[in-house]
């Protein structure tokens, strides 16, 4: 009797939880928001690493955030999101192996930067930030349309 009650409860809960099938336009808007957040952290970290602002105590926040976001980038470009108001080039979908490798390179660079920041060695932080910046630029050159 308890199993039937449990099963019925699970079935009822499944009916109560809405199922969300995201529209491609919403996926694109979400992707843009996430990538803008990544760029914002990158810009803030750049100012700290280059000594332009004295917020070194916040560098860990930016490094950790970029590391977390980098881990999601590969999921932000599903097959049905290759149209409309997006800066993603067709090469994201026409060269999937190259795109995945570029994302992996960025994920590795973000992880290295995060580790360097945690370690506190200024030279390591600067070197890993350059590597991260270069991985962003490389991906953008191949897979993102520049704004005018």
Residue-wise pLDDT tens digits, 23-57: 989 999 999 999 999 999 999 999 999 999 999 99
Residue 103 and residue 97 in contact, taking contact as beta carbons nearer than 8 Å: no
Rg of the chain over Cα atoms, rounded to whole angstroms, equals 20
pTM: 0.83
End-to-end CA distance of the chain: 67
Q: What is the pLDDT of residues 89-141, one digit of tens each?
A: 999 999 999 999 999 999 999 999 999 999 999 999 999 999 999 999 999 99
Q: What pLDDT is attached to residue 147? A: 75
Secondary-structure percent of the chain, ordered helix, strand, coil, rounded to 5: 75, 0, 25
Name the one residue in this structure whose structure tokens are 């994920």: 107
In this structure, what token pair is assigned to residue 121? 């060695």
**Which is more confident, 18 or 136?**
136
């Amino acid at each position: 009797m308890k199993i039937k009650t449990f099963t019925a409860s699970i079935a009822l809960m499944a009916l109560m939880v809405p199922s969300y099938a995201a529209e491609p336009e919403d996926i694109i808007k979400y992707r843009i928001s996430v990538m803008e957040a990544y760029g914002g952290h990158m810009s803030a970290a750049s100012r700290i690493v280059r000594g332009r602002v004295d917020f070194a105590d916040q560098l860990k926040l930016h490094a950790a955030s970029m590391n977390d976001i980098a881990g999601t980038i590969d999921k932000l470009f599903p097959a049905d999101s290759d149209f409309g108001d997006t800066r993603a080039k067709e090469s994201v979908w026409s060269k999937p192996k190259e795109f995945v490798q570029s994302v992996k390179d960025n994920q590795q660079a973000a992880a290295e930067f995060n580790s360097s920041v945690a370690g506190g060695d200024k030279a390591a932080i600067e070197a890993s930030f350059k590597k991260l910046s270069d991985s962003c630029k490389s991906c953008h050159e191949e897979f993102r349309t520049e704004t005018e």
